Amino acid sequence: MKIFKDKHTLQKEILKTKGISFVPTMGGLHKGHISLIKQSKKSKFKTLVSIFVNPKQFNKKSDFRSYPRSTKEDVKLLKKLKINYLYIPTFKDIYGFKPKNKVFLDKSSKKLCGKFRKGHFEGVLNVMNRFIEIIKPKYIYLGKKDYQQLYLIKKHIEKRKIKSKIIECKTIRERNGIACSSRNTNLNKNQRKIASDIFYYFNNLKKKIKKDFNLFKINNIKKDLINLGASKIDYFENYNIKNFRKIKKSNQKFNLFFAYYIKHTRLIDNI
Q: Which residues are catalytic?
A: 33
Consecutive H or E run containing 8: helix 7-14
Quick one: how far is CA 33 from the chain centroid?
Answer: 10
Nearest to residue 49, comparing CAs of 10, 92, 18, 12? 10
Question: Strand ranges (DSSP E) for the chain?
Answer: 2-4, 20-25, 46-51, 85-87, 139-143, 165-169, 232-240, 245-246, 255-262, 265-270
Q: In what order do the strands lie in the sheet with 255-262?
A: 245-246, 232-240, 255-262, 265-270
Report the C-alpha gap between 193 and 23 in whole angstroms.
30
Helix, strand, or coil (residue 52): coil
Gap between the Cα atoms of 38 and 47, Å rounded = 9
| DSSP string over 212-238 | -GGG--HHHHHHHHHHHT-SEEEEEEE
